[in-house]
């Protein structure tokens, strides 16, 4: 399971899990003790399930002999669960090793693998001293196997077994997931990890490019380009580069990642890279379907196949993620540092997006204000155009009698004016509201003991409504006044024409 330190994969059937547990395991009965690895037995407890015995007696590390005794005693162990302090005869222990009770395999298969046989002997039946101390030595070998370090002595004539974290019994293991690279070989991307900080790399990026160009032989047809620079844990910096090769006919292409990586693996090039502070070079090439299939079919060293199969089924996105083994605290710490670094990068990106959003909101507010300003200016220009049209129409119809359409328009304007001035219409309602407001203010001043509270939102809406009504009335009043002046001007013009015509006839 991915980063599943401390969780059990079979919680539906677990009846009790105690002790120190960092890993995913699927026991079917009680399991207590020291658990960091992956067990897949049906009725085993703790580490003893790896050996195929259902009720092992031994050193209950974590509960120290959970069963009938306490301390370093016998009983059904829920810790390591291997054989205890001579609780079984030596012959019976050898039968467990050779008879299939240890790994659940036939004896001939175990004999074919000396390494597994020696490991089983060191963990279950050492014969180094020939007395009860061999059982203590077996417990010590079990502890070393669980921790993944040390040597397991079991026979004076056979070299000891080297316990590493890749052995099958090491508990400090888990399964995580990593993204599958989607870069092709022709993209030419190669990752260089420098033992320098990102600020130093960016400050000397041009010198770095020139140094890499010299490492490539200083050919004029080659150009080194930096694809990206980012910080990685342990004060290191990852620089992704690609090299462009120009041919004499003017065309250019990227040097494939595999070819560039093969060149970087040369001994003299590695020496030059060490002088530049390069700690690691890696080609960024996506895995082929055959390679992915091979990786998934073969579990890593020391990882149980059942756990590996379970990890493949638990893959949240099999198209983009691939399971990888995490062995030891060092690997876990590295992944935690990488995760923390990626979290910081994501947070910085979110901060940039937040700043962009704030800037866009400011621009939007400015744009809205400009739109309102332009609307007011458009309204003013519309009124000016209307006034020009009115004057032009007056000049055009100067000396003519009032037409029926004009008379109809005058009647409509008079009607609007009378409606506005009516007591039950806008102007009367506005006056009534104003009087009520003044009255309320007067009563509030006289009767200070009576406090009335008007909601601020409601008051703001009332003010906004009244302001709009006042503006509308002012606008209509201005139009009516202009129209009345125009009508007076027309009437004056008509009267002057009548006098002139009368003088002519007289």
**For 289-347, what is each residue's pLDDT tens digit?**
888 888 888 888 778 888 899 999 999 988 889 998 888 888 888 888 888 888 988 99
pLDDT digits (tens, 9 = 90+) for 371-402: 999 999 999 999 999 999 988 888 887 777 78
pTM of the predicted structure, to 2 decimals: 0.47
At residue 87, the pLDDT reads 33
Contact between 324 and 174 (Cβ < 8 Å): no
SS3 at position 111 = helix
CATH value at residue 204: 3.30.70.3310
At residue 182, the pLDDT reads 84
pLDDT digits (tens, 9 = 90+) for 246-267: 888 888 899 999 899 999 988 8
Residues 271 and 153 in one domain: no
Examine residue 242 and state whether it is found in any structural domain, yes or no: yes
In the chain, how many domains are there? 3
At residue 34, the pLDDT reads 35
At residue 83, the pLDDT reads 32
Examine residue 390 and state whether it is found in any structural domain, yes or no: no
pLDDT digits (tens, 9 = 90+) for 211-220: 988 888 888 8
At residue 29, the pLDDT reads 34
Residues 52 and 156 in one domain: yes
At residue 370, the pLDDT reads 95
Residues 129 and 226 in one domain: no
Q: Which residue has the higher pLDDT, 1 or 294?
A: 294
Residues 157 and 191 in one domain: no
Residues 43 and 190 in one domain: no
Query: Which of 265, 286, 307 corresponds to the end of one domain?
Result: 286
For residue 465, the enclosing domain spans 397-505
Examine residue 410 and state whether it is found in any structural domain, yes or no: yes
Pull the structure tokens for residue 280: 């690691």
Examine residue 314 and state whether it is found in any structural domain, yes or no: no
SS3 at position 187 = helix
Examine residue 335 and state whether it is found in any structural domain, yes or no: no
What is the spatial distance between Cα 458 and Cα 214, in angstroms, rounded to a whole number?
A: 75
108 pLDDT exceeds 60? no
Examine residue 99 and state whether it is found in any structural domain, yes or no: yes
Task: Please enumerate in sequence order all residues whose Cβ is within 8 A of that of 177, keeping only pairs 6 or more positions apart, or say none.
Answer: 2, 315, 316, 321, 322, 323, 324
Examine residue 154 and state whether it is found in any structural domain, yes or no: yes
What is the spatial distance between Cα 239 and Cα 280, in angstroms, rounded to a whole number?
A: 11
Query: Rounded to whole angstroms, what are the CA distances from 410 to 34, 276, 403, 491, 493?
Result: 101, 93, 11, 12, 17
Residue appearing with tokens 């065309």: 251
Pull the structure tokens for residue 187: 């993209």
Residues 118 and 224 in one domain: no
Query: Which of 157, 175, 193 corresponds to the end of one domain?
Result: 175
Residues 48 and 162 in one domain: yes
Lowest mean pLDDT, pick from 276-285, 299-308, 402-411, 425-434: 425-434
Residues 26 and 153 in one domain: yes
At residue 129, the pLDDT reads 86
Residues 51 and 84 in one domain: yes
At residue 384, the pLDDT reads 93
At residue 78, the pLDDT reads 32
At residue 377, the pLDDT reads 95
Residue 417 phi, psi (nearest 5): -60, -40
Query: Which of 146, 175, 204 corresponds to the end of one domain?
Result: 175
What is the spatial distance between Cα 500 and Cα 488, in angstroms, rounded to a whole number?
A: 18
Residues 239 and 146 in one domain: no
What is the spatial distance between Cα 148 and Cα 164, in angstroms, rounded to a whole number?
A: 4
Examine residue 35 and state whether it is found in any structural domain, yes or no: yes
Residues 186 and 280 in one domain: yes
Residues 98 and 208 in one domain: no
Q: Which residue has the higher pLDDT, 462 or 506?
A: 462
Mean pLDDT of 68-89: 33
């Amino acid at each position: 399971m991915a980063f599943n330190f401390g969780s059990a994969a079979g919680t539906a059937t677990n009846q009790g899990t105690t002790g120190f547990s960092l890993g995913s395991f699927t026991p079917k009965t009680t399991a207590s003790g020291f658990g960091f690895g992956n067990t897949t037995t049906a009725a085993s407890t703790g580490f003893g399930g790896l050996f195929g015995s259902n009720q092992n007696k031994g050193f209950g590390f974590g509960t120290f002999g959970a069963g009938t005794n306490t301390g370093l005693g016998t009983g059904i162990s829920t810790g390591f669960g291997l054989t205890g302090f001579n609780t079984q005869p030596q012959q019976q222990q050898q039968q467990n090793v050779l008879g299939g009770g240890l790994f659940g395999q036939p004896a001939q298969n175990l004999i074919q693998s000396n390494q597994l046989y020696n490991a089983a002997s060191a963990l279950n039946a050492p014969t180094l001293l020939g007395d009860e101390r061999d059982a203590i030595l077996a417990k010590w070998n079990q502890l070393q196997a669980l921790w993944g370090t040390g040597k397991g002595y079991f026979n004076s004539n056979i070299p000891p077994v080297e316990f590493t974290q890749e052995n099958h019994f090491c508990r400090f293991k888990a399964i995580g997931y990593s993204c599958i690279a989607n870069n092709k070989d022709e993209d030419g991307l190669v990752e260089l990890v420098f033992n320098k900080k990102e600020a130093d790399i960016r400050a000397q990026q041009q010198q770095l490019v020139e140094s890499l160009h010299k490492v490539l032989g200083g050919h004029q047809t080659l150009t080194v380009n930096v694809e990206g620079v980012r910080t990685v844990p342990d004060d290191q910096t990852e620089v992704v580069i690609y090299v462009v090769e120009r041919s004499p006919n003017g065309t250019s292409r990227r040097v494939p990642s595999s070819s560039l990586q093969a060149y970087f693996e040369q001994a003299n090039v590695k020496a030059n890279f060490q002088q530049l502070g390069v700690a690691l070079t890696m080609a960024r090439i996506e895995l082929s379907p055959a390679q992915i299939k091979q990786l998934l079919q073969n579990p890593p060293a020391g990882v149980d196949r059942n756990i590996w199969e379970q990890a493949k089924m638990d893959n949240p996105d099999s198209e983009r993620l691939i399971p990888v083994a995490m062995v030891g605290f060092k690997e876990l710490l590295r992944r935690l540092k990488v995760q923390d670094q990626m979290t910081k990068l994501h947070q910085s990106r979110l901060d940039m997006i937040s700043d962009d959003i704030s800037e866009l909101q400011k621009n939007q507010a400015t744009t809205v204000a400009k739109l309102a300003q332009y609307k007011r200016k458009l309204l003013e220009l519309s009124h000016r155009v209307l006034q020009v049209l009115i004057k032009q129409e007056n000049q055009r119809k100067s000396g003519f009698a009032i037409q029926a359409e004009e008379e109809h328009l005058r009647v409509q304007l008079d009607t609007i004016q009378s409606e506005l001035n009516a007591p039950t219409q806008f102007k009367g309602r506005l006056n009534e509201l104003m009087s009520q407001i003044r009255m309320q203010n007067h009563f509030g001043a006289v009767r200070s003991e009576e406090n009335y509270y008007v909601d601020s939102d409601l008051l703001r809406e009332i003010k906004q409504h009244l302001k709009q009504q006042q503006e509308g009335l002012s606008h209509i009043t201005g139009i009516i006044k202009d129209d009345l002046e125009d009508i007076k001007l027309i009437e004056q013009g008509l009267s002057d024409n009548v006098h002139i015509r009368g003088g002519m006839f007289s």
